[in-house]
Structure 1
Amino acid sequence: MAFKDLLVVVDDSAASAARIDVAAQLAARNDGHVTGLYAVTPIVLPGYIESELPEEVRDNQRRYAQELAAKAEALFDAAMRRHGLTDRSEWRLAHGNPTDAAALHGRYADLVVVGQVDPRRDRDRPVVLPQDLVFECGRPLLVVPYVGSFYRVGERVLVGWNGSREAARAVADALPLLAAAKRVVLLAVNPKPGATGIGDEPGADIARNLSRHGCRVEATRVSTDQVDPGDTLLNTVSDESCDLVVMGAYGRSRLREQVLGGMTRFMLEHMTVPVLMSH
């Protein structure tokens, strides 16, 4: 099944242009529909300051928020025209927390396109948090880096495979892209063999499944105690010129990843190409 209904979360950052373009190219390739979502998030001030604000200041805040939303809509509309999607797109405004808004609207889409959090961004302006949205949305996320342009997504795909439920979910969710890809590299890093691991030939079972869907897939594994698994994955992305990573999100608890680190957290912080992730 192709991705026919995509939701892209738009904000007032410079990275929105690349994010919208990724959503548009996927929709154009699949004869799909794109919905642009912009969350209007008023600046929250302490109560004692809020109560003293003159009405003129409040009006200026509202006017500024409207201007930002209008610029975002113009950016979205221009991208839809470039990709021939004017008749297959719509614009939505939401109010409130952007992660909550994306979770709500994303449940009615096949794929939700969001941005990697830019650590340089003003922390006073809330943004969509992929690490929360992947739990709340119930749909696969395509997280686009905050730096770079991505003119073709899904031609050469790297699948991070560890045999987990989350990885299996991500592979199933990404099947429309995997089946159309020119090449799929299925990578197992430091795989555990045997019945409690992912077999004596790591990745062979899921590669066989993908091949039955017409995927041009090859399985490979890397065993090393010299390089961090996240760096190994990113090195493979570079070596194989991949333009997309597919992976499961949070195979262990989010708290444990926050304390000890983990692949999900690493990729959300260090991704170099778009990452499709599911939980």
Structure 2
Amino acid sequence: MALKDLLVVVDDTAASAERVALAARLAVAHDAHLTGLYIITHTPIPAFIEAEIPESVRLQQQATEKAMAEKAAGLFDEAVRRNGLSGRSEWRALAGDPTQITAVHGRYSDLIIVGQVNPARVPDLPVPLPEDLVFDAGRPILVVPYAGTFPTMGERVLIGWNASREAARAVGDAMPILAKSKRLTVMAVNPAPGANGLGDEPGADIARHLARHFNHVEAAHISTRAIEPGDTILNAVADDSCDLVVMGAYGRSRLRELVLGGMTRYMLQHMTVPVLMSH
């Protein structure tokens, strides 16, 4: 499937400009339509307090929200203009729950581009949560780190492979991006043995499949208990100057990942480059 319809979440954070710029470049590369989605949110206020808020304060809040939405629209419009997407773009500003609205609108796109959650954000202000979107939207998500700049994305790709359904889904969803890459590395970390594992040559099967599509595929595997598997992936990203990670999300329940730890949760917290995830 080609990438022809992209959705990018635009917000009020400093990271938004880089995210929108990346989404615009991706739309250009794939001759795709780009939709910008801004979600107006409110800090939750108990009903008994909200009833006492003067009308003048409500009007001031509405004016502030309108100004913030217009600022976000200006950021999106500038990226659209700069990348020649004026005839292939759309702007939406809606009020409500960020994760729910993003999931619903994301179902009508090929890829949802969203920001990594910054742990330093105002905790009471809702933001789209990638860990929920990957379940709720039914579409692949591209999570862009809240720190850093990403002038390229998808030229040097690392695929985190564990032979799971989720990993296979992520590879399939990423194929349009992989087709434009210059180098693909399949990485298996602590591969499981046995018939249901990765076999004697971990990653070789998926690398062989990808090599029938592309001629620049490598396979590697690492077995170590000395460091976190997520750190192993991130070290490989740094060593090979990768600019995208592709991986399946949540091969086990979110509760088990919360209790036991897991690759998905770790990458969502520690990513250094954009990560394409599917479930």
The Cα offsets for residues 133-181 of structure 1, whole Å up to 9 and x where unpaired, read as: 1000000000000001111100000000001010000000001111211
* Deviation at residue 200 of structure 1 after TM alignment: 1.0
Number of the residue aligned with 2:11: 11
Contact 1:178 1:215 in 2 (8 A): no
Aligned partner letter, 1:181: S
Aligned partner letter, 1:196: N
Contact 1:156 1:243 in 2 (8 A): yes
* Deviation at residue 43 of structure 1 after TM alignment: 2.9
Number of the residue aligned with 2:81: 81
Number of the residue aligned with 1:276: 276
Number of the residue aligned with 1:146: 146
Aligned partner letter, 1:200: D
Number of the residue aligned with 2:263: 263
Check if 1:166 corresponds to 2:153: no
Number of the residue aligned with 1:157: 157
Paired with 2:215 and 2:70, the residues of 1 have a C-alpha distance of 42
Number of the residue aligned with 2:32: 32
Number of the residue aligned with 1:2: 2
The Cα offsets for residues 113-147 of structure 1, whole Å up to 9 and x where unpaired, read as: 00000011111211000000100000000000000
Aligned partner letter, 2:14: A
Number of the residue aligned with 1:114: 114
Paired with 2:121 and 2:215, the residues of 1 have a C-alpha distance of 39
Paired with 1:226 and 1:87, the residues of 2 have a C-alpha distance of 52
* Deviation at residue 90 of structure 1 after TM alignment: 0.6
Contact 1:179 1:215 in 2 (8 A): no
* Deviation at residue 198 of structure 1 after TM alignment: 1.2
Unaligned runs of 5+ in 2: none
Paired with 1:195 and 1:46, the residues of 2 have a C-alpha distance of 55
TM-score (ref. length: structure 2): 0.98
TM-score (ref. length: structure 1): 0.98
Aligned partner letter, 2:91: W
Aligned partner letter, 1:107: R
The Cα offsets for residues 188-234 of structure 1, whole Å up to 9 and x where unpaired, read as: 00101221211111111111111111252100000111121111000
Paired with 1:194 and 1:53, the residues of 2 have a C-alpha distance of 64
Paired with 1:176 and 1:193, the residues of 2 have a C-alpha distance of 31
Number of the residue aligned with 2:135: 135
* Deviation at residue 260 of structure 1 after TM alignment: 1.2
Paired with 1:102 and 1:275, the residues of 2 have a C-alpha distance of 18
Number of the residue aligned with 1:227: 227
Paired with 1:76 and 1:248, the residues of 2 have a C-alpha distance of 29
Check if 1:95 corresponds to 2:87: no
Instruction: Report 1:186-197 matches (<5 A).
Output: 186-197=186-197
Of the structure 1 ranges 111-120 and 194-203, higher mean CA displacement relative to structure 2 is found in 194-203
Aligned partner letter, 2:197: G
Paired with 1:180 and 1:215, the residues of 2 have a C-alpha distance of 12
Q: The residue matched to 1:120 in structure 2 has which SS?
A: coil
Unaligned runs of 5+ in 1: none
Paired with 1:276 and 1:135, the residues of 2 have a C-alpha distance of 14
Number of the residue aligned with 2:218: 218
Contact 1:247 1:277 in 2 (8 A): yes
Paired with 1:71 and 1:262, the residues of 2 have a C-alpha distance of 38
Number of the residue aligned with 2:202: 202
CA RMSD of aligned residues (A): 0.8
Q: The residue matched to 2:179 in structure 1 has which SS?
A: helix
The Cα offsets for residues 4-57 of structure 1, whole Å up to 9 and x where unpaired, read as: 110000111111001101111111011111000011113321111101111000
Paired with 2:3 and 2:263, the residues of 1 have a C-alpha distance of 26
The Cα offsets for residues 248-275 of structure 1, whole Å up to 9 and x where unpaired, read as: 0000001101111100000000000000
Aligned partner letter, 2:278: S
Q: The residue matched to 1:113 in structure 2 has which SS?
A: strand
Aligned partner letter, 1:153: M
Number of the residue aligned with 1:246: 246
Contact 1:170 1:277 in 2 (8 A): yes
Number of the residue aligned with 2:63: 63
Aligned partner letter, 1:272: T
Aligned partner letter, 2:188: A
